[in-house]
Structure formats: C-alpha cells, structure tokens
Chains A and B, each alone.
Chain A
C-alpha cells in the first residue's frame, strides 16, 4: 500500500463548478501538506502549503487537512478552463535526520474544466 493515495481521475467538470480533490495517507508523522498543479509538459507549481490540521484559503483555492482521519482536500471554487491540469498532493514529516528534502507525492488527479 502506498503512503499517499490519490484518485487519478480523470475528473471532468463544467466551468464554474466547485471541484473537490482529495488524498489519504497512512503515515501519522506527516505534518506538512502541499498541493501542486502540473500542466502538461511542465514542472509542478506550488499552490497551497499547510501545516498540521486546519483550513487555508487563497483566492479560489481552499486546502483542508484532517489529521485525525489522515485526509486532505483541495477545493477550487468557480473553476475555469485554465484550471485544467494535474493536481498533486505532497506531504512530509518535520525535518530530521534522514528525511530532509523529501516529499511524498500522491499519484495526481487529472482535472478537466469544460467551457
């Protein structure tokens, strides 16, 4: 079983819809949670970064972390065709010996927003 599970989709929604993307994880040591967006033939771009549990909002994007359920979510409001991309969740524990510089990624969810 992978440490981070993410439904690869694809997920297709109409423009303006609210999109919900999710990841589950098994390692209780994970404390930092990130969402990256990756367009075709590009590198991942950091969207959201949260520490421990709680919500964080940035424009149309909201990230939620529920450590008790080992479940994280990314919500996109008023989705646009330009949001069509692959969304990757990533996690890491607090830095310590042997785990520096390493993010554990989900498989990525491919999102298509149709005009």
Chain B
C-alpha cells in the first residue's frame, strides 16, 4: 500500500506571497492532520480534517487554512507568508475510529520544506 504523499517537496517563496501544499493520504484513511516542524518549536499541530470537515484546530493564525476533498486528499494554504513560516510541513493520515474512543495511529508523509525569503 502506498504511503502518504506530499507535493511539492520543496518550495521557495517570498514574504507576502501565498502557498498551497497538497497531501494524499494512505488509501482508506479518512483523517488527515497537518503539522509544522521547526528547529525551535518542534512539531506543532495545525489542524485535522475528516470527511471534508475540520474537526480540530491548533493555535495558529487564520493565515493558515486547509480543506479536504471527497477522496480524502487535503490541501493547506498559507497566505501573506512571513519569514517565520519557513518550516517543514508534515501531513499525517489515519483510519479514524470516529466516536469509538481510542486514538488513531498517524502515518506521516515526507513533508514539504517551505523557505520564505
């Protein structure tokens, strides 16, 4: 079974621009979570989508947004880029045991490395 894929792998943008990152989950996985990884803050949760709905959101400004399509693929968008947005953006997918307690094992993609100049 193919793993989580993310495109593009590398991006270079300038301040003020916007960017869209894409994530294709493992086949059959319905939940997609996004994380930002930086040397200073480590891995921080951005948001999670399930059945095209955002179920959970981390503590990031509104410039960070996302969406999920009917095939579970997800995109995240960052508008008005700032230097501090330079990071590795990771997508993780899971089966999602909705409403049954427990938790879902998350499988990560290789990430998109965003550099903001």
Contact = CB atoms under 8 A, between A and B. Distances in A.
Interface SS, A side: loop
Interface stretch (A10-18, A64-72, A74-82, A104-112): A104-112
Interface string A87-100: 01010111110111
A102 B105 contact: no
A40 B71 CA distance: 30
Contacts, number: 80
A32 interface: yes
Q: How large is the interface on B (under 10, 10 to 19, 20 to 34, 35 or more residues)?
A: 20 to 34
Interface string B33-58: 10100000011110011100001101
B81 interface: no
A100 B96 CA distance: 9
A101 B94 contact: yes
B110 A102 contact: no
